Amino acid sequence: MSAYTCDDSFLRNNLDWVAKATNWNKFNAVASLGCIHQGNCDKAMAILTPYLPGAGGTSGSPYAEGGALFALGLVNANYHNSEILNYLVTSLANASQNEVIQHGACLGIGLVSMATWDMSLFNNMMQYLNLDSAVAGEAASYSMGLIMLGSANAQAMQDMLTYAHET
């Protein structure tokens, strides 16, 4: 309802409801900020800082942090912002074993680097796919598809198909 409007008053007026959200509901509530603020690239970090990992955020929830990384990708989808991409890649590397944060970071990376055909990013996502984590792997595979969008890259398709057959 509020997509692209930058009007997040519903969430702000219902913070008690948002605070009660747990696990993936919290992920989705925070990620919805990305839909609301889509294209508002200049203010994305300021809006999402309370939820982002290691950015002074106080959420303490990997679900909120993962949702914020996904939201950051949604706001910057297809803008190819290298600063945001570097932040997401660094967040992914720092996520260690937290699959939820990896999930959000992978989705964000795919959105920010959509249709760039960047093989180094594709291979980075393949590493997370190969961890055999259903949570991080699902997002990594979506990211791989978004990165290679429109490329018809035979090697990328073969790599993904081979992985699908093997698993």
In a domain, 128, yes or no: yes
Return the closest-CA partner of residue 121 out of 149, 152, 161, 162: 149
| Cβ neighbours for 83, distance < 8 A, ≥ 6 positions apart | none
Question: How many Cβ atoms are within 10 Å of 119's Cβ, its own excluded?
Answer: 15
d(C-alpha 105, C-alpha 72), whole Å: 9
pLDDT at 55: 54
Around 139, how many Cα atoms within 13 Å sit in the side-chain half-sphere? 23
In a domain, 3, yes or no: no
d(C-alpha 109, C-alpha 125), whole Å: 9
Give the CATH number for residue 94: 1.25.10
Amino acid at 117: W
Burial class, 92, CB count within 10 angstroms (exposed 0-12 / middle 13-18 / buried 19+): buried
Cβ-contact 75, 43 below 8 angstroms: no
What is the number of H-type helices and E-type strands within the chain? 10, 0
Calculate the alpha carbon distances from 14 to 10, 73, 126 in Å: 6, 24, 39
pLDDT at 68: 97
In a domain, 102, yes or no: yes
In a domain, 2, yes or no: no
For the chain (length 167 residues), average pLDDT per consecutive 10?
A: 89 84 94 94 94 70 96 96 97 93 98 97 95 93 97 96 92
Name the pTM for this structure: 0.92
In a domain, 27, yes or no: yes
| Total number of domains constituting the chain | 1
In a domain, 51, yes or no: yes
Domain that holds residue 135: 9-166
| Tokens of residue 80, six digits | 């190819």
In a domain, 49, yes or no: yes
In a domain, 94, yes or no: yes
